[in-house]
Chains A and B, each alone.
Chain A
Amino acid sequence: MASQAVPAPKPSRKINTQFVAYLLIAPPLVLMGLLIFLPAIQSIGHTLFTQTDNLSTFTIARYIDFFKDPVSLSNLLFTFRITLLVVGFLFLVCFPLSVYLRFSHSRIAGWVQVLALFPLFVPGIILAYALIQFLGTHGTLDTVLRTFGLTGYKTPYLKPEGIVIGLVWEGIPFTTLILTAGLRQVDDSLIESARDVGANNWQVFRHIILPLLQRPALIVLSLNFLGVFGAYTIPYLLGPAAPQMMGPYMQRTFIEVQDIAKAETQAVMTFLVCSLVGVLYIRAVTSQRTERD
């Protein structure tokens, strides 16, 4: 090939490929800049500065309003409560499930895995519809309980419990998937050699599995937090009208009340809470990548 025959123009070729590379990666980066970073930064700017006669002045009035308003404050706290509940439940349910899936190779484990991953293939909007028909008053669960003679079923639909049930259902596959993947990094031979030197189950768990599980657990907890805190479909369709989670609250402020400034403040509040967790997530992912490289 020509490039092999003539070694002289190598430096210029290198600059050339650099240029081509930047040209190729530019479109998605520009798109992301315009549709993620720009809107976020602009919203933060809008909430911090007021425009009066070409003069923008710094103010935190909109945040003071946010915290003075009992509705927005109670919605924020409600969102926090639901998020912590869902993230906690998901971990409690999925952690034993993943440990089981990692160490059992039986046919039952295969079926458990299929079922635990199934919600991955149920879109949120269909899930909401299915849960309403299943859990609602006179729904399937009510009917089944009644045939067993259990009356007095109280539906969680349109209550905070409804949100928790829906979001946990939705989150099971992802949480199980990541935790199981994390547990697969634990070598069988490592565990066996630990047992050979007399370690019991607890010691194996404490000193071998737990340290290796830290990063996947951090990824799962942070992504679940981000997903639940900003959730819309499930809280909107399964939750109460008041208090509301931030997702439906923002949508109502934006579309129904059409108070764009207020909706923006709510969005930025959500950004601020999530940014802390987002940083945790990105750090967890990047540290994993560095170690592997």
Chain B
Amino acid sequence: MAETAIQDSTLFSARANVRRSFAATLRREGFGIVALILLILVILGPVSTVVLWSFAERWAYPSLVPTTWGLKYWPETFDRPDIAGALPLSIGLALTVTVLSAVICLPAAYAFARFHFRGRRPLLLSFLATNAFPRFALYVSIAVIFFRLDLIATVPGVVLIQLVNTLLLMIWIPTAAFQGIDRSLEEAALDVGASRIRVFFQITLPLVFPAVSAAVLLVFINTFYEAQGALIIGLPRVRTLPVLMYALINSELITQYGAILSLTLWLPSLFVLIFAQRLLRGGYLTAGFGV
């Protein structure tokens, strides 16, 4: 009897403790809880709408969820000739731009990190100009030149305009990585007789690999989603997937096509999301802004 009473009272006080600590958390975390609820509504609301639409066969207005579920529109979407044609084009473009960007920028990043030459800092900082110009106005200016060079509506034209956007990321992230390498590792290898080329491939390259692969990944994703440059330079002949979305939004009566294409377009981004924590910790997500 007495035992249960003691148990009861400890249980009671434990409960009170939980309640008190919960109240304290709420007071301390009140802001966090409110922010979390608002963010869930604001961020996940639009996102979940797209997901629901892509699995709906019918969604009549006052219903909270689709009236008929189904995958009917998935094959239909990818059978559309414009989408079927744009998918390989988009992937091919993004790959081309990423490879070109790496070929052009990585040696430059190495030079910025390792060589001492006059104007090193101002030249490195000059790549910030890609951020300091209002992008769309710049595209219009570039389009005026491309118009005369007959580069409008050509793949090379789109490659060039997308390449400009990659420079800052592909130079700044690897430059910081090359600078961060402990030089004594390389010197030790040289001392024991390794050739410079061997040192570069077996010591330098593995050390910068995480940063370089982050840069490559971010550049690929950014290019894959780049729509504005491709819109101004590419149309009417070169239509990437993101550019197709404009047409689907403006003049397509079947909502599902846009939803399904959005969801598909999203896949690469979700892939990056998996690495988000690492990218964030490495400071790569902010590197493109010069912070």
> Which residues from A are CB-within-8-Å of B283?
181
Tier of interface size on chain B: 35 or more
> Which residues from A are CB-within-8-Å of B125?
282, 285-286, 289
Q: Are A24 and B134 in touch, CB under 8 angstroms?
A: no
Q: Are A28 and B290 in touch, CB under 8 angstroms?
A: no
| Interface residue from B32, B140, B167, B266 paired with A109 (Cβ < 8 Å) | B32
B23 within 8 A of A: no
Q: Would you list which residues of chain A between 106 and 149 have a CB under 8 Å from chain B?
A: 106, 108-109, 111-112, 115-135, 138-141, 143-144, 146-147
Q: Are A129 and B32 in touch, CB under 8 angstroms?
A: no
Mark interface residues in B125-166 (1 if CB within 8 Å of A CB, else 0). 111111111111110111111010000000000001101100
Closest chain B residue to A144, Cβ basis: B64
Closest chain B residue to A279, Cβ basis: B132
- For the complex formed, measure the closest distance between the CB of A285 and the CB atoms of chain B, giving whole angstroms: 4
Q: Would you list which residues of chain A between 1 and 35 have a CB under 8 Å from chain B?
A: 1, 17-18, 20-22, 24-29, 31-32, 35
Given contacts A104-B29, A174-B289, A285-B125, contact A125 B133 (CB under 8 A): no
- For the complex formed, measure the closest distance between the CB of A268 and the CB atoms of chain B, giving whole angstroms: 8
| Interface residue from A17, A28, A267 paired with B127 (Cβ < 8 Å) | A28
Q: Are A108 and B29 in touch, CB under 8 angstroms?
A: yes
B228 within 8 A of A: yes
A174 to B290, CA, bound (A): 12
Q: Are A271 and B144 in touch, CB under 8 angstroms?
A: no
| Interface residue from A43, A100, A130 paired with B47 (Cβ < 8 Å) | A130
Binding site for A on B (CB under 8 A): 25, 28-29, 31-33, 35-36, 39-40, 42-50, 52-53, 61-64, 104-105, 107-108, 110-112, 115-118, 120-121, 123, 125-138, 140-145, 147, 160-161, 163-164, 167, 171, 190, 225, 227-228, 231-232, 235, 242, 245-246, 248-250, 255, 258-259, 262, 265-266, 269-270, 272-273, 276, 280, 283, 285-286, 289-291
- 16 more A-B residue pairs beyond the given contacts A37-B129, A129-B249, with a C-beta to C-beta distance below 8 A: A24-B107, A35-B160, A40-B141, A43-B140, A100-B32, A109-B29, A117-B276, A121-B272, A125-B225, A126-B50, A133-B50, A138-B61, A227-B135, A264-B140, A271-B134, A281-B131
Would you mind naming 29 contact pairs between A and B with Cβ atoms under 8 Å apart? A1-B190, A22-B117, A24-B110, A31-B164, A35-B163, A39-B138, A43-B141, A100-B31, A104-B28, A104-B29, A106-B25, A112-B39, A117-B280, A128-B245, A133-B50, A133-B255, A141-B45, A178-B286, A181-B283, A223-B289, A237-B250, A246-B134, A250-B140, A264-B140, A267-B138, A278-B133, A281-B132, A282-B132, A288-B291
